Structure 1
Amino acid sequence: MKVELLLLAMAGLAVLAACEPLPPEAEPAETPDSCGAAGYQGLVGQPRTVLDGMTFPLGTRQIGPNDAVTADFRPDRLNIEYGAGGRIEKISCY
């Protein structure tokens, strides 16, 4: 019984010794401005109603604080996010 317990403990230690820690995940690279978000940064802080009279590239999303959106990554898609107060908070490509 003692021998079996010792063998089991040694086997467990061998398994643990074989484990290598995973390298830390690299930060995602900054997305290039492939959707033209840089040209719209002046809208940040404005009320979202300013968007009503503007035209945007096809596929642009206006995202509210409780809106459900797909998680697919499209670097060419312009995303305009506004907060609960109705002000534009972020404009980016994803």
Structure 2
Amino acid sequence: MHVLAKTMAGLGLALAVTACVPVEAPDPGPAPGPVNQCGALDLQYLVGAPAAQLDTIRFNKPVRVIYPDTAVTMDYNPDRLNFQIDRTGLIARVTCG
């Protein structure tokens, strides 16, 4: 019984010391770029316009037009313009990514 008590005491001490080890914070990844890097803030006037209007505009950035129920990749490109189209065919959001 005496051996069991020593083993339990040693185990308790080991657990107590382990609990005091500092944990490193996870890497936050790359710092986000400028909020308007792709120019989306300048195009907010298009919100509410028909999606067909995008065919008349020439963009100097990559563009992704996202319709409802359309699968899109989850990669983030801060230079890419995203136009989200609602079910009525109107531009609902203009974002970077």
TM-score normalised to the size of structure 2? 0.68
Q: Secondary structure at the residue paired with 2:78?
A: coil
> Matched residue of 1:81: which SS?
strand
Aligned sequence identity (%): 32
Residue ranges of structure 1 left out of the alignment (5+ in a row): none
The aligned counterpart of 2:40 is 37
Q: 1:70 is matched with which residue?
A: 73
User: 2:93: which partner in 1?
Assistant: 90
Q: Superposed, which structure 2 residues align to 1:7-86 within 5 Å?
A: 7-20=10-23, 22=25, 29=32, 31-57=34-60, 59-86=62-89
Larger Rg: 2
More displaced stretch, 61-70 vs 51-60: 51-60
What is the alpha-carbon root mean square deviation over aligned residues?
2.7
Residue correspondences, number: 91
**Secondary structure of the residue that 2:20 maps to in structure 1?**
helix
TM-score (normalised: structure 1) = 0.70
Residues 16 and 46 of structure 1: CA distance in aligned 2, closer, same or farther (over 3 Å): same
Query: After TM superposition, what 4+ stretches of structure 1 lie above 6 angstroms from structure 2?
Result: none
Per-residue deviation at 1:29?
A: 4.4
Structure 2 unaligned blocks of 5 or more: none
Shift of 1:88: 2.1
Q: 2:5 aligns with which of 2, 6, 12?
A: 2
Cα distance change of structure 1 residues 85 and 31 upon mapping to structure 2, 3 Å threshold: farther
Per-residue deviation, residues 19-74 of structure 1 (Å, max 9, x unmatched): 34748x6xx64634232212310111334343344333352000123222222222
